[in-house]
């Protein structure tokens, strides 16, 4: 059986309303998975290990993969729409000319920053989530003064070590 090639998507054919829905759903799922992740982290039986880790460990790994996938999706959306708009500098009337900024603003308006920033803390059970989250933060801040202002105005929490 021969695998069919992966279809390419023309960025011009994607409506901003569709992109907005994808962003909204992604942020909502990340919020829900954050809650589930907290429950599993508190569970003493959820110790993932390379040799198995049981049902709870499998759940943690699955949640980790879904969260990383959603973080990568948001990062790639910003990157794709930013690069498509910068290559189309002559035609500023195209509906995706500010697509990267639109996506950055959507994440901010949906209160996605606290969730994504929380993922930047290293967690041994979710090893690559922090790295992918840091890359997403970079793309959320790039050429977006409003998002940069949010980060600039953050106050550190004085938590005991």
Residues 6+ apart with CB under 8 A from 148: 141
Please tell me which residue, 26 or 7, carries the higher pLDDT value.
26
Taking 50 as the threshold, does the pLDDT of residue 93 lie above it? no
Residues 6+ apart with CB under 8 A from 98: 85
pLDDT digits (tens, 9 = 90+) for 114-154: 999 999 988 887 889 999 999 999 999 999 999 999 999 98
How much is the pTM? 0.77
Average pLDDT of span 26-35: 94
pLDDT digits (tens, 9 = 90+) for 149-160: 999 998 877 656
* Residue 97 · residue 118 · CB < 8 Å: no
CA distances from 110 to 42, 104, 113, 147 (A): 27, 10, 8, 12
pLDDT digits (tens, 9 = 90+) for 41-79: 777 544 544 545 677 778 888 898 999 999 999 999 999
CA distances from 48 to 64, 156, 159 (A): 11, 31, 27
- Report the Cα 31 to chain-centroid distance in Å: 11
Beta strand spans in 5-156 (E): none
Say what the pLDDT of residue 160 is. 61
Average pLDDT of span 95-107: 78
């Amino acid at each position: 059986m021969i695998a069919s090639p992966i279809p390419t998507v023309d960025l011009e054919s994607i409506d901003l309303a569709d992109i907005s829905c994808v962003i909204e759903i992604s942020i909502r799922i990340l919020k829900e998975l954050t809650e589930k992740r907290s429950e599993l982290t508190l569970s003493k039986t959820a110790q993932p290990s390379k040799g198995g880790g049981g049902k709870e460990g499998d759940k943690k790994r699955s949640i980790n993969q879904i969260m990383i996938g959603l973080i990568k999706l948001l990062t790639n959306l910003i990157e794709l729409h930013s690069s498509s708009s910068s290559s189309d500098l002559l035609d500023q009337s195209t509906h995706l000319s500010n697509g990267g900024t639109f996506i950055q603003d959507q994440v901010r308006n949906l209160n996605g920053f606290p969730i994504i920033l929380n993922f930047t803390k290293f967690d041994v059970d979710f090893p690559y989530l922090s790295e992918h989250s840091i890359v997403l933060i970079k793309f959320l801040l790039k050429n977006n003064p409003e998002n940069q202002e949010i980060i600039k105005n953050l106050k550190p929490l004085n938590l005991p070590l």
